[in-house]
């Protein structure tokens, strides 16, 4: 019995060390979030007069949030990003679903060749094509428009591939049965395939929303009118030109507002998002 006790003791010491190390990393992840929220509810005066940064505040205030929305067009940035995200994601789905369907179910000449070419496009880094796209959009006079912001990012070879793989898993008999019953391709796609593949469609949608919400480079190139800034560019603008003076608490309030939607989305769809990313999402 004593031997047994010793064994469990040793195991628990090892476990405790593991928990401590994991806890340290959890702190490293969470601390910036804590500091961001904490700073955002300190008043400007209190923050600037701290000789030693304080880890709690006894007089929380929401004035920074008011400043963030009134002194800079944060609401406008926010709205722009919502429009951009919704429009891009919706158009993307309209573009990629038929393409994935064609690759998975329809027979046509040169299908394999076209699909191989599609796949090889996955290796093309964004940096290579952004230059010409910038010139194209500029020449078309589409700078500082939503059209210019949205158009280049409404297709994704990777998502077509992901959907196509999922579509292909549906037994062909279902398609043939539908054909025998006289179901049109389009009806089959919407009534059978999409409902079965809903999880993948949701995954693709969520990943695209995250991507859109955080996109920075293309919007920065294509907009210089703050009326069309997205949140990333907005926060950069705030950082560089600020609130008239350097107002860190108000800046943090803006950061909180910008971060919140995705964190809420994450809390609601935690499992779906993590599964989706594990299946092949990468950042950016």
51-90 positions binding another protein, by CB under 8 A: 51-53
Which of these ranges, 45-53, 71-79, 167-175, 190-198, lies near another protein under the rule CB under 8 A? 45-53
43 binds another protein (CB under 8 A): no
Q: In angstroms, what is the minimal distance from the CB of 163 to another protein?
A: 11
Q: Secondary structure of the chain: what % helix, strand, coil (to 5)?
A: 75, 0, 25
* Touching another protein, residues 239-258 (CB under 8 A): 239-240, 248, 251-252, 254-255, 258
* Closest CB to another protein among residues 27, 66: 27
Q: Which of 183, 185, 192, 194 contacts another protein by CB under 8 A?
A: 185
Q: Say how many C-beta atoms besides its own lie within 10 A of residue 85's C-beta.
A: 22
Q: Are 281 and 207 in contact (CB under 8 A)?
A: yes
* Touching another protein, residues 107-146 (CB under 8 A): 107-109, 111, 114, 118, 121, 124-125, 127-136, 138
Alpha carbons 273 and 205: distance in angstroms, whole number? 10
| Nearest residue to 221 via CA among 235, 209, 233 | 233
Q: Both tokens of residue 254?
A: 């803006």
Burial category of 131 from C-beta neighbours within 10 Å (exposed 0-12, middle 13-18, buried 19 and up): exposed
Q: Which of 68, 72, 151, 178 contacts another protein by CB under 8 A?
A: 151
* Closest CB to another protein among residues 31, 198: 31
Q: In angstroms, what is the minimal distance from the CB of 4 to another protein?
A: 5
| Nearest residue to 138 via CA among 81, 218, 76, 84 | 218
* Closest CB to another protein among residues 173, 283: 283
Burial category of 164 from C-beta neighbours within 10 Å (exposed 0-12, middle 13-18, buried 19 and up): buried
* Touching another protein, residues 255-284 (CB under 8 A): 255, 258-259, 262-263, 265-266, 270, 273-274, 277-278, 281-284
Q: Which of 99, 178, 204, 250 contacts another protein by CB under 8 A?
A: 99
Q: In angstroms, what is the minimal distance from the CB of 1 to another protein?
A: 8
Q: Are 235 and 254 in contact (CB under 8 A)?
A: yes
179 binds another protein (CB under 8 A): no
Q: Are 78 and 62 in contact (CB under 8 A)?
A: no
Token pair 């909180």 is found at 256
210 binds another protein (CB under 8 A): yes
33 binds another protein (CB under 8 A): yes
| Nearest residue to 95 via CA among 176, 150, 172, 166 | 150
* Closest CB to another protein among residues 63, 237: 237
22 binds another protein (CB under 8 A): yes
Q: In angstroms, what is the minimal distance from the CB of 223 to another protein?
A: 11
């Amino acid at each position: 019995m004593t031997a047994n006790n010793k064994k469990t003791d040793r195991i628990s010491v090892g476990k405790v060390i593991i928990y401590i190390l994991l806890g340290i990393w959890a702190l490293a992840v969470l601390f910036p979030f804590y500091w961001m929220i904490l700073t955002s509810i300190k008043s400007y005066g209190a923050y600037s007069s701290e000789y030693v940064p304080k880890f709690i505040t006894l007089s929380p205030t929401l004035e920074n949030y008011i400043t963030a929305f009134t002194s800079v067009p944060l609401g406008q940035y926010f709205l722009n990003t919502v429009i951009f995200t919704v429009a891009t994601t919706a158009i993307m789905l309209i573009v990629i679903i038929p393409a994935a369907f064609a690759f998975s179910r329809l027979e046509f000449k040169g299908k394999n060749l076209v699909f191989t070419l599609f796949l090889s496009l996955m290796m093309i880094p964004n940096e290579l094509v952004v230059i010409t796209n910038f010139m194209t959009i500029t020449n078309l006079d589409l700078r500082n428009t939503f059209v210019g912001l949205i158009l280049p990012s409404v297709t994704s070879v990777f998502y077509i591939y992901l959907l196509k793989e999922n579509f292909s898993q549906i037994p062909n008999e279902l398609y043939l049965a539908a054909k025998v019953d006289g179901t049109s391709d389009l009806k089959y796609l919407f009534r059978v395939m999409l409902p079965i593949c809903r999880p993948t469609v949701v995954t693709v949608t969520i990943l695209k929303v995250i991507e859109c919400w955080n996109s920075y480079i293309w919007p920065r190139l294509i907009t210089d009118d703050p009326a069309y800034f997205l949140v990333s560019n907005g926060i950069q603008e705030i950082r560089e030109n600020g609130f008239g003076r350097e107002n860190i608490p108000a800046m943090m309030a803006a950061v909180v507002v910008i971060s919140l939607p995705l964190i809420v989305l994450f809390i609601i769809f935690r499992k779906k998002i993590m599964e989706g990313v594990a299946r092949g999402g990468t950042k950016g």
